[in-house]
Copies of this chain bind each other. A is one copy, B any other.
C-alpha cells in the first residue's frame, strides 16, 4: 500500500499541508499532528522528514518565500510590457496584495512569522528581511531606470521612493487581509500613487 515518494515530493506535500492549515486556521493551529492529518499521513512520517517542529516551520517559511517569488515573476512576465518600469512596479506591488486565497495565506503566514521573529532570536537570524530588502533594491533600480528613460521626474529619490512603495503595499496588504479595505481599493491606491509619482509608461 505505501507508495514511495521521493524526498522532495514528500517535503512539498507536507509543507503545502502546513500552509493550508496555517492559512485557514492560523499559524497557532499548526501542530505536528494537524499537519499530518491535513497531509493524510501519519504523525510519525512528519517526524521522519522534519525531525523537529522548528525545522518544519523554517522549511515552510522558505517554501513560502519561494512560492511568492515565483508568483511575482510570473505576474511580471505575463504583462504586456515586461520591461517597462511602470508596468513592472505596478505588477509587483499588486501581486503583493492578498487578493486570492494563495496570496492571503502568504500574507497571513508571513506576518505571523514576522511577529514571532521580533521576540524569537532563532527566527530573527533567518533570512527573513532579505526578501523585502532585495525587493526594495529591485524597486529602486527600476525607478533609476525610469529616471534615465525620462519617465520619472529627476527630483524623486529612488531609494526613498522604493521604501515608500514597499511600505505602502505592505500596509495596504494588511488592511485588505483584515477586511478593513477591499483589494480594489488597494490597487486603486497603488495606481493613484504611481500616477502622482509622475511615473509614466514608456511610450511604445
Contact = CB atoms under 8 A, between A and B. Distances in A.
26 contacts: A25-B119, A26-B119, A27-B115, A29-B119, A111-B114, A115-B115, A117-B178, A124-B179, A128-B178, A129-B178, A132-B180, A156-B196, A160-B189, A160-B192, A163-B172, A163-B175, A163-B189, A164-B189, A164-B193, A166-B171, A166-B175, A167-B168, A167-B172, A167-B175, A168-B171, A170-B175
A12 interface: no
Given A129-B180, A132-B180, A171-B172, 11 more contacts: A26-B120, A108-B115, A111-B111, A115-B115, A164-B189, A167-B172, A167-B186, A167-B189, A170-B170, A171-B171, A171-B174
Contacts of A157: 192
Nearest to A118: B108
Contacts of A186: 167
Interface of A: 24-29, 108, 111-112, 114-120, 124, 128-129, 132-133, 156-157, 160, 163-164, 166-172, 174-175, 177-181, 185-186, 188-189, 192-193, 196
A116 B26 contact: yes
Q: Among A116, A118, A164, A192, which residue has the most Cβ atoms of chain B within 10 A? A: A118
Contacts of A28: 28, 116
Q: How many copies does the complex hold?
A: 2
A132 to B, nearest CB: 6
Q: Among A128, A163, A164, which residue has the most Cβ atoms of chain B within 10 A? A: A163
A172 B170 CA distance: 9
A170 to B, nearest CB: 4
Closest 6 A-B residue pairs measured CB to CB?
A167-B171, A171-B171, A26-B119, A170-B171, A129-B180, A167-B172
